[in-house]
Amino acid sequence: MIKRILTYGVLCAVIFAAYSCNGNNDKKSDETTTATTASSTDKYDKKRKEGIDFVASGDQPTWEMDIDLQKAIWFTTLEENVTALNTPVPTAVKNGDTTIYQAMVDAGSIKVIIINQPCINSTSGEVSDHTVEVQTSGKVFKGCGKYLN
């Protein structure tokens, strides 16, 4: 009988400890998600104020792209042998759920394919409305993007 009571007591203590730890992790996870979302919102608000209409990024290798539909496409990466490009914005070619921008400048060419398909950033876990592919310098960069305006 005492053995059964001790076993029951230990089992209750383990369940209580597991439940308590899980609750704290959920709270920390919620706080981290809230902080990440607030940081992303601040970043997007700043870009919106600068006139940026579309943002995209990816990793492996890390890259970023901003499009101002009245001014230019800015593409940068940490990849070696890939030139950062600043091009005038060409006319968009739309085909169903896909929008394609293509431009040629002295530094090289760029083709941006924006697909209206949800995308999850593999590093941050942020969900974006569009899947993006950038082709430049003989390389393909994949990532996620969203329209800001």
Instruction: Kindly list the domain boundaries of the chain, sorted by start residue.
Output: 1-49, 52-147
User: What local confidence, expressed as pLDDT, does residue 39 receive?
Assistant: 57
Asked if the peptide bond before residue 61 counts as cis, ω within 30 degrees of 0, the response is yes
CA pair distance 78, 30, nearest whole angstrom: 31
pLDDT, tens digit (0-9, with 9 covering 90-100), for 62-83: 999 999 998 889 999 987 767 7
With b for 16 or more beta-carbon neighbours within 10 A and e for fewer, the 112-149 pattern comes to: bbbbeeebeeeeeebebebbbbbebbeeebbbbbbbbe
List the structure tokens of 15.
Answer: 């369940």
List the structure tokens of 38.
Answer: 């607030």
For range 136-142, the mean pLDDT: 91
User: What local confidence, expressed as pLDDT, does residue 61 receive?
Assistant: 86
Query: Integer distance in angstroms from the first to the last C-alpha of the chain?
Result: 70
Residue 53's CB is within 10 A of a number of other CB atoms, namely 16
CA pair distance 3, 71, nearest whole angstrom: 77
- The answer to whether the beta carbons of residues 66 and 83 sit under 8 Å apart is no
Return the closest-CA partner of residue 127 out of 9, 19, 17, 40: 40
Residue 99's CB is within 10 A of a number of other CB atoms, namely 18
pLDDT, tens digit (0-9, with 9 covering 90-100), for 88-119: 877 889 999 999 999 888 878 899 999 999 99
Question: What is the pTM assigned to this prediction?
Answer: 0.69
- The answer to whether the beta carbons of residues 134 and 45 sit under 8 Å apart is no
